[in-house]
Amino acid sequence: MSGYDWSMPKPPAARNRGRAAAADNRRAILAAARRVFAQQGYHAPLSAIAREAGVGQGVFYRHFPTRVDLAFAVFEEHFAELEALAAEPDAQTFHRLWSRLVDLTIEEAAFVEMVVDARRAHQGYDGIARLRTLLERPLARAREAGTVHSGLTVDDVLLAQRMVYGLVVTAIDPTGLRESIERALAQGSLLVNQSQPTKTARRSRRSAPRPRS
């Protein structure tokens, strides 16, 4: 028939997504890493993270050549959150900062494992230095306000966090883990908010026998 085009219709041209696809892949890998690290710990197989993200090994390693590179990206948001807390200028800032650090250690023990592994693998890694910087001013304000022991140092705080991590990774039943940590630290008079009695102390006072009149 004259005037009719009998040629096969052409398929639409494929669009090269380039940077958009790379950004999507990176987001998928980071989200998958958070899930896998939370379920299996920091030393979970990287291949499991790639599968969870739905990307090939080549794509995975183009974005994150090493485990520590991946961990830095995953946990950078945690550092950003802690830095925002540390910037709040009042005497209770240290206690909010410490509480959040304990929560992160309980919820994501991989956060601590990453800091330790990075310190071993990279001589110039600044993770511990960043934690020190985060803690210094809030702790100084807390000492001045008398809400912590006057001799408490940043080294003491970092040691206490390592103790918390030990309790987390050795706990058989996570039920009541937060209170167990608070009780253990209170026994050693570590990081007790002296302006607010602990739950354990409140319970002890309530259960203590009253003197007879």
Candidate from 23-27, 97-101, 124-128, 141-145 with smallest mean pLDDT: 124-128
pLDDT of residue 98: 92
Residues 94 and 147 sit within 8 Å (Cβ to Cβ): yes
Rounded CA-CA distance 102/82 in Å is 11
Rounded CA-CA distance 94/192 in Å is 11
pLDDT of residue 84: 93
Q: Is residue 36 part of a domain?
A: yes
- What are the distances in angstroms from CA 157 to CA 7, 103, 191? 76, 15, 7
Rounded CA-CA distance 39/68 in Å is 18
Mean pLDDT of the chain: 77
37 and 91: one domain?
Answer: no
CATH number of the domain bearing residue 48:
1.10.10
Of 65, 90, 120, which residue constitutes the final position of a domain? 65
Q: Is residue 212 part of a domain?
A: no
For 155, the domain range is: 74-194
Residue 91 in 3-state DSSP?
Answer: coil
Q: Is residue 3 part of a domain?
A: no
pTM, rounded to two decimals: 0.65
